[in-house]
């Protein structure tokens, strides 16, 4: 098979595959339906943890979890149709930056994207979360 024919096959094949997947709903983004969903997703990866409280972002893509072991924060984030989880210690946090609609969390982890936590900023619940995070990193 010539390289030209190979390139055409890959190009057309990838295009057709992409269109089909998109048409069949493959571009939908996952959302944490509830606080309980965030809790259950976290426990899938960290089964032994005891969770005291869960904060869910307004777009339902990020959740922070207060754990019994106070040294670390629990984190659940959506990525495409799936989720990833982390146990974050003080030294893992690069910065927490306050925004008008929530805050950015940035970690030292390699290739970790800044997380945007959307919130109703005037609620007590949100203030509780900021207060909790402040124990781990100064919020600016």
Partner 1 sequence: MDVPNFPDVTKSAVPFFVLAMLLEILSIRYLEKKGKYETRDTFASLSMGVGSIVAGILFAFVKVNFFFWLYQYRVYTFGFSPFIILLCFCLDDMRYYWAHRFGHEYRWFWASHINHHSSQHYNLSTALRQTWTGTFTGLFVLQAPLIVLGFHPYLVFFVGGLNLLYQFWIHTEAIDKLPWWFEAIFNTPSHHRVHHASNPRYLDSNYAGTLIVWDKLFGTFVPETKKDLPRYGIVKNLATFHPIKIALHEYVGIGKDLLQSGLSWKQRFYYLFATPGYSHDASRKNSSQLKRDYLDLHPEEADQPGFLGKV
For partner 1, the binding residues (CB under 8 A) are 1, 6, 9-10, 13-14, 16-18, 20-22, 24, 26-27, 44-45, 47-48, 77, 79-86, 89, 109-113
Token pair 């979360």 in the structure block, residue: 129
DSSP state of 139: B
Quick one: 38 or 126, whose CB is closer to partner 1?
Answer: 38
C-alpha closest to that of 64 among 10, 4, 56: 56
- Cβ 16 to partner 1, closest distance in Å? 7
- Cβ 132 to partner 1, closest distance in Å? 21
Q: Report the 10 Å Cβ neighbour count for 34.
A: 13
- Cβ 64 to partner 1, closest distance in Å? 15
Bridge pairing between strands 62-67 and 72-79? antiparallel
Quick one: 78 or 126, whose CB is closer to partner 1?
Answer: 78
- Cβ 24 to partner 1, closest distance in Å? 5
C-alpha closest to that of 42 among 33, 58, 54, 60: 54
């Amino acid at each position: 098979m010539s390289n030209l024919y190979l390139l055409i096959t890959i190009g057309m094949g990838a295009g057709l595959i992409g269109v089909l997947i998109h048409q069949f709903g493959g571009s939908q983004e996952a959302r944490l339906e509830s606080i309980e969903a965030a809790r259950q997703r976290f426990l899938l990866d960290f089964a032994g943890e005891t969770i005291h409280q869960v904060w869910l972002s307004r777009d339902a893509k990020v959740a922070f979890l207060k754990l019994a072991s106070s040294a670390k924060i629990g984190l659940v984030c959506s990525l495409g149709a799936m989720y990833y989880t982390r146990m974050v210690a003080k030294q893992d946090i690069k910065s927490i930056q306050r925004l008008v609609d929530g805050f950015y969390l940035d970690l030292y982890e390699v290739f970790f994207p800044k997380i945007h936590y959307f919130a109703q900023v005037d609620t007590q619940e949100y203030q509780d979360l900021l207060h909790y995070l402040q124990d781990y990193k100064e919020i600016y």
